[in-house]
Amino acid sequence: MTDIQKNPDELTILSLDTCTESCSAALSVKGQIFSELAVVPREHSQRILPMVDSVLSQANISLSDVDLIAYGRGPGSFTGIRICTSMTQGLALGQDIPVIGLSALQTMAQTVFDHQGAVQVICAIDARMGEIYWGQFVFNNGLAELVGLETVTAPNLATLELDKSLSIIACGTGFETYPQLLELCENITLTQEIQFPDAKSMLSLAKAGYTQGLSTSVDDLAPVYVRDTVTWKKLPGRE
């Protein structure tokens, strides 16, 4: 396994995400970033490995050169999370590469911060069954920092813990399905550009997590479904 004392700025980091309708992979190596993303519902299992191969090929490195794998741990599609975690296991096991799980909501918030320079962000993913996956974030030292807890909730029960006197950027499919969420505060502005997690935005979060000692062996890989898996078993065919 990679030495925990390795300089975070020298890490070669591979990231992948299939938690929502989007599928993405990214690679950071020697200051360069390579990435692939496509919105391909129900094609994640066919698309994610070719994306990983593509970014490795673009960087002209092999999997054995990777120091850390970041994976989307959820919340999101139950099937998508399983695909992401199983793919991460397959990649990491053979090379004994440490892994770090990252929140799909935090990844979305990081994308907003990176692209739009927001101060506060709320993320909502349509969780089906009349619910949303809900997370609130502030910008701290260049990174999206969670405020409170990530939850699965009915839209009418969602509460705002951010500073209502400051501007808030909203992102995610939950706001399209439940536009009433935008009425929680008059300072909320919806961005249409960012609806899903992007593995490219996971790279800075992964480096920070590594620095904090949050990476683990693949044996300790931990998906986060938020919604109880029993609920999913009652709904065959749901994603």
Pairing of strands 120-128, 131-140: antiparallel
* 16 neighbors 25 (Cβ within 8 angstroms): yes
User: What pTM was estimated for this model as a whole?
Assistant: 0.91
Q: What is the pLDDT of residue 234?
A: 35
pLDDT digits (tens, 9 = 90+) for 33-92: 999 999 998 899 999 999 999 999 999 999 999 999 999 999 999 999 999 999 999 999
Mean pLDDT calculated for residue range 109-128:
95
d(C-alpha 24, C-alpha 26), whole Å: 7
pLDDT digits (tens, 9 = 90+) for 194-219: 999 999 999 999 999 999 999 999 98
Q: What is the pLDDT of residue 118?
A: 86
* 72 neighbors 202 (Cβ within 8 angstroms): yes
Read off the tokens for 180. 């009433």
d(C-alpha 48, C-alpha 156), whole Å: 35
The larger pLDDT score, comparing residue 3 to residue 84, is at 84
87: enclosing H helix or E strand: helix 78-95
Band of residue 227 on the pLDDT scale cut at 50, 70, 90: low
d(C-alpha 107, C-alpha 196), whole Å: 9
Domains in the chain (CATH in brackets) are 8-104+197-233 (3.30.420.40), 105-190 (3.30.420.40)
